[in-house]
Structure 1
Amino acid sequence: MFRSLARRAALSSASPSANPHTLGPFQVFDRNVKRIQKDRAALREDSRTVDYVREEVADRMMERFLDIKRTFGSILDLGSGAGHFTKLLEPEKAQKSLMVDLSQMSLNRDPDSDFEVQVERIHGDEENLLQLVEPNSQEAVVSCLSLHWVNDLPGTLIQIREALKPDGLFLGAMFGGETLFELRSALQLAEIERQGGLSPHVSPMTQTRDISNLMGRAGFSLLTVDVDEIKVAYPDMWALVDDLRAMGEGNAILGPRRALRRDTLAAASAIYTALHGNEDGSVPATFQIIYMIGWKPAPTQPQPLERGTGKVPLGEAL
Structure 2
Amino acid sequence: MSDLALSNPESHLYDYLKEEVSIRLTDRIFDIKRHFPTIVDLGCYKGQIADNLTDETVDRIICCSSSPNSLDKIEERRDLKIEKLLIDDEENFKLEANSVDLVISNLYLHWVNDLPKLFGNIISTLKEDGVFIGSMFGGQTLFELRCSLQMAEMEREGGFGLHVSPFITPQDIGGLLNRAGFTLLTIDADEIVVRYPSMFELMYDLKGMAENNALIRGRTHMNRDSLLAAAAIYNSIYGSDGSPKSEAVATNKPDGIPATFQIFYFIGWKPHPSQPKPLKPGSANFSLKDLAHLGKGNVNIKNE
Question: For residue 190 of structure 1, what is the aligned residue in structure 2?
Answer: 152
Q: Distance between the aligned counterparts of 2:73 and 2:159, measured in 1?
A: 40
Partner of 1:85, secondary structure, is: helix
Structure 1 residue 156: deviation in Å? Answer: 1.7
The structure 2 residue matched to 1:50, chosen from 14, 23, 33, is: 14
Show the 5 A alignment for 1:1-318: 35=1, 38-112=2-76, 116-124=79-87, 125-130=89-94, 133-255=95-217, 257=219, 259-278=221-240, 279-312=253-286, 316=300
If asked which structure has higher relative contact order (CA below 8 Å, sep 6+), I would say 1
Seen in structure 2, the aligned counterparts of structure 1 residues 317 and 234 have a Cα distance that, compared at 3 Å, is farther
Q: Is the contact between residue 163 and residue 218 of structure 2 (CA under 8 Å) also seen in structure 1?
A: no
Q: Distance between the aligned counterparts of 1:52 and 1:148, measured in 2?
A: 18
Q: Is the contact between residue 244 and residue 250 of structure 1 (CA under 8 Å) also seen in structure 2?
A: yes
Q: Distance between the aligned counterparts of 2:182 and 2:196, measured in 1?
A: 39
* Residue identity in the other structure for 1:105: N
Q: Is the contact between residue 238 and residue 269 of structure 1 (CA under 8 Å) also seen in structure 2?
A: yes
* Residue identity in the other structure for 1:137: S
* Residue identity in the other structure for 1:248: A
Q: Distance between the aligned counterparts of 1:184 and 1:283, measured in 2?
A: 14
* Residue identity in the other structure for 1:119: I
Structure 1 residue 281: deviation in Å? Answer: 3.0
Question: For residue 250 of structure 2, what is the aligned residue in structure 1?
Answer: none
What percentage of aligned pairs have identical amino acids?
46
Structure 1 residue 312: deviation in Å? Answer: 4.9
Question: For residue 8 of structure 1, what is the aligned residue in structure 2?
Answer: none
Partner of 2:102, secondary structure, is: strand
Structure index of larger Rg: 2
What TM-score results when the alignment is normalised by the length of structure 2? Answer: 0.87
* Residue identity in the other structure for 1:187: L
What TM-score results when the alignment is normalised by the length of structure 1? Answer: 0.83
Q: Distance between the aligned counterparts of 1:309 and 1:123, measured in 2?
A: 51
Q: Distance between the aligned counterparts of 1:300 and 1:256, measured in 2?
A: 47
Mark the runs of 5 or more structure 2 residues left unpaired by the alignment.
Answer: 241-252, 291-299
Q: Is the contact between residue 220 and residue 297 of structure 1 (CA under 8 Å) also seen in structure 2?
A: yes
* Residue identity in the other structure for 1:183: L
* Residue identity in the other structure for 1:146: Y
